[in-house]
Structure 1
Amino acid sequence: MSDRAALCSDFLSQAGWGDATRAPLAGDASARRYERLSLGDRTAVLMDAPADQGQDVRPFVRIAALLSAQGLSAPDVLAQDADAGFLLLEDLGDALFARLIEKDPARETGLYRAAAETLVALRKMPVPEDLPVFTPKHMAQMIEPAFDWFAKPLGRPVETADQQALFTVFETVLDQTIGETFAFCLRDCHAENLLWLPDRTGLARVGLLDFQDAVAAHPAYDMVSLLQDARRDLSPALEPEIIAHYVSLTGDDPHAFRCAYSAIGAQRHLRILGVFGRLSLHFGKPHYIDFVPRVWQHLMTCLGTPGLEDLRAAVLQVVPEPMALDRLRSHAEA
């Protein structure tokens, strides 16, 4: 038994789950690992987040408590060893939005409306002062992975001067569209991180996962994450319908919100192209390449928004269209 496995066994024994049956659950893009534990008629979820791989469970515990205090459905923390990097969590089940919609596409609109209503509640939450803040300048700098892990592997290295020029254009556009408007954002709010809990009522029917990286950002950030999903295509009319529902509840100016949404979307998708390239090439996860065409299409949709012509020109000047994905796959599988 490895040292890590022994630590885990000790943690589960101390929590009263040492005799539980353990089965792996799907993970995410991080080094975290998840298992479902079964003990008699009880279940729970183990999060294994090793600190020596850059993981820290304390933000999860803290954000879960903040969400639960607002009546939202984050998993209860049943036991924890923050130093070792283990959490025992309430099992919210397997009814992920993505799975439910795949089985019954007619449920898509209702589930996404419920998700949008949850985001309305989130933006009303007090924003903790120590959350990372996604300012226009910071967000502009966050596109950097696209240069080394997307453009360069596709045969178009980006000179430092061109990188700085694109940073400047992005920062200017974000200054104009999002300014200093910040709200509590989950950051990775999409159909594989949302669960339907029909036995609960109101906003609590939407279960929340993978929120440890929550930030202070413009409210449109989570809407982009929700509606321009890298992993699945939405029904064509759903995106504008859910945005309209959201702004009807918030009182936002629809045009201003859509401009902010498109600018944030362009930033987010460009960054994700770099992140997926890095996951494929550096961490040996080539399946992320399969998401690249969808992310690229989202990027082009955002850059096609009136008023973003200069940003579109600046992006296309340095970032290549992903025509040679076999090149990325060959590098990833080497």
Structure 2
Amino acid sequence: MPQATPVTRTERLRLWAAARHGLAPEALALSLAAGDASFRRYFRLHLPDGTTRMLMDAPPAQEDSHPFVAIARHWGAVGLPVPRLHGEDLDAGFLELDDLGDTPLQAYLRGDDHPETLAWHERAMALLDDLQNRALPADLPPYDAALLGRELDLFPDWCLGAWLEIETPPGWTALRETLIASALAQPVVTVHRDFDAMNLMVHERCLYLIDFQDAVAGPISYDLISLLRGRYCRFPPARFAAWVEAFRQRAVADGRLPGTTTADAFLGQAQAMAAQRALKVLGIFCRLTLRDGREGYLERLPHFLDHLDDSLAHLPDQDAFRTWLTREFRPALSQRLEATP
């Protein structure tokens, strides 16, 4: 007797969406819209009245969608621009959301010093102010020392060990402790955790937040760093410092930062946060490549190495680690990249 063909997740998603809208499954127009670095996939649903919606397929075995739903409801309720949730089946891992189009912020970036790039970053920082002032961090997981440490350990585990096969430098433990202590010394706010141009959608010339399921309660500078030291731009030190100072002044004015927080102190915390995130990203991108078989991440490693060097240059007592980056890590990275198809 012939075996029944297993129903694919895409077919199950189609059946779920059809039942929600009272349509025959074969009449449903569904097209793949995007995938991301996780196991989530997104499909565009075209309804007979011309309306489109975005369907998220997040396999429960790999992706827990409960945080996404809870955060979407909370952030939407306080007036933050997030996609509205129209339907959910958390047991199946299916969500139906507003369709915000296909244009993330990076599509509007025209170079590090282009006026349009600078203007959009200003708008993104205004949105970050709103996020930190409106969204309560109380119900979010803490961005504590354990999580900060696990993220930093991605660098020696995956970048140095698994990919480059080189030893961790002697000063690593001290740097790791310094960066964790600096992060924990900052005021705690709601942290998107990937406030990058790829996770800010432009819809009708307005910015919307997406991919916020990993949000935590953590350091006030983290999301600012995600934006200013992200994957698409490398701003000059003076521009970076000016934006960090403008952010500090706004945060002091609205109470997110104590009035005693000096410009030098906050810039130092921001530089340390940037170093933590760069090290984390160097490790994550290697893990995505080696463990998950993802493409397109290794080529971004030199960009984040430059971010890391920019940050360490402004932190005290890091000359030895920077020398190791220049003499050993950067040549090993370049050689490995050249040998990688």
TM-score range, shorter chain: 0.7 to 0.9
Aligned residue in 2 for 1:187: 193
Aligned residue in 1 for 2:271: 262
1:150 paired residue among 154, 159, 179: 159
How many correspondences in the alignment?
A: 321
Aligned residue in 2 for 1:226: 227
Structure 2 length as normaliser, TM-score?
0.84
Q: Which runs of 5+ in 1 are unaligned?
A: 200-204
Residues 264, 319 of structure 1: alpha-carbon distance in 2 compared, 3 angstrom cutoff:
farther
Aligned residue in 1 for 2:120: 111
Q: Does 1:283 align with 2:301?
A: no
2-structure distance, mates of 1:292, 1:59: 30
- Checking the alignment, whether the CA contact within 8 Å between 2:14 and 2:28 is kept in structure 1 is no
Residues 265, 180 of structure 1: alpha-carbon distance in 2 compared, 3 angstrom cutoff:
closer
Question: Radius of gyration: which is bigger?
Answer: 2
1:100-179 pair list within 5 angstroms: 100-102=108-110, 105-125=114-134, 127-152=136-161, 153-158=163-168, 166-176=172-182, 178-179=184-185
Please report how far the alpha carbon of residue 43 of structure 1 lies from its aligned counterpart in structure 2 after TM superposition: 0.6
Please report how far the alpha carbon of residue 126 of structure 1 lies from its aligned counterpart in structure 2 after TM superposition: 5.2
- Checking the alignment, whether the CA contact within 8 Å between 2:186 and 2:220 is kept in structure 1 is no
The residue matched to 2:37 in structure 1 has which SS? coil
1:120-149, CA deviations, whole angstroms, 9 ceiling, x for partnerless residues? Answer: 122223534342212345313321121221
1:180-329 pair list within 5 angstroms: 181-198=187-204, 205-230=206-231, 232-234=232-234, 236=236, 238-251=239-252, 252=257, 253-309=262-318, 312=321, 316=325, 320-321=329-330, 323-325=332-334, 327=336
1:200-235, CA deviations, whole angstroms, 9 ceiling, x for partnerless residues? Answer: xxxxx32011100001111110011001112x1255
Please report how far the alpha carbon of residue 167 of structure 1 lies from its aligned counterpart in structure 2 after TM superposition: 4.0
Please report how far the alpha carbon of residue 263 of structure 1 lies from its aligned counterpart in structure 2 after TM superposition: 0.9
- Checking the alignment, whether the CA contact within 8 Å between 2:271 and 2:315 is kept in structure 1 is no
- Checking the alignment, whether the CA contact within 8 Å between 1:169 and 1:311 is kept in structure 2 is no
- Checking the alignment, whether the CA contact within 8 Å between 2:183 and 2:219 is kept in structure 1 is no
Please report how far the alpha carbon of residue 244 of structure 1 lies from its aligned counterpart in structure 2 after TM superposition: 3.3
1-structure distance, mates of 2:144, 2:327: 23
- Checking the alignment, whether the CA contact within 8 Å between 1:140 and 1:168 is kept in structure 2 is no
Residues 268, 234 of structure 1: alpha-carbon distance in 2 compared, 3 angstrom cutoff:
closer
Percent of aligned pairs sharing the same letter: 30
- Checking the alignment, whether the CA contact within 8 Å between 2:179 and 2:276 is kept in structure 1 is no
1-structure distance, mates of 2:81, 2:189: 19
What CA RMSD, in Å, does the superposition of the two structures yield over aligned residues?
2.9
Residues 121, 314 of structure 1: alpha-carbon distance in 2 compared, 3 angstrom cutoff:
farther
Residues 254, 328 of structure 1: alpha-carbon distance in 2 compared, 3 angstrom cutoff:
same
The residue matched to 2:152 in structure 1 has which SS? coil
Residues 155, 78 of structure 1: alpha-carbon distance in 2 compared, 3 angstrom cutoff:
same
User: Higher relative contact order at CA 8 Å, sep ≥6: structure 1 or structure 2?
Assistant: 1
Amino acid at match of 1:191: A
Aligned residue in 2 for 1:87: 95
1:25-45, CA deviations, whole angstroms, 9 ceiling, x for partnerless residues? Answer: 232210101111222411111
2-structure distance, mates of 1:66, 1:308: 42
Residues 141, 95 of structure 1: alpha-carbon distance in 2 compared, 3 angstrom cutoff:
closer
Larger CA deviation: 27-36 vs 322-331: 322-331
2-structure distance, mates of 1:328, 1:282: 17
- Checking the alignment, whether the CA contact within 8 Å between 1:22 and 1:36 is kept in structure 2 is yes
- Checking the alignment, whether the CA contact within 8 Å between 1:136 and 1:171 is kept in structure 2 is no
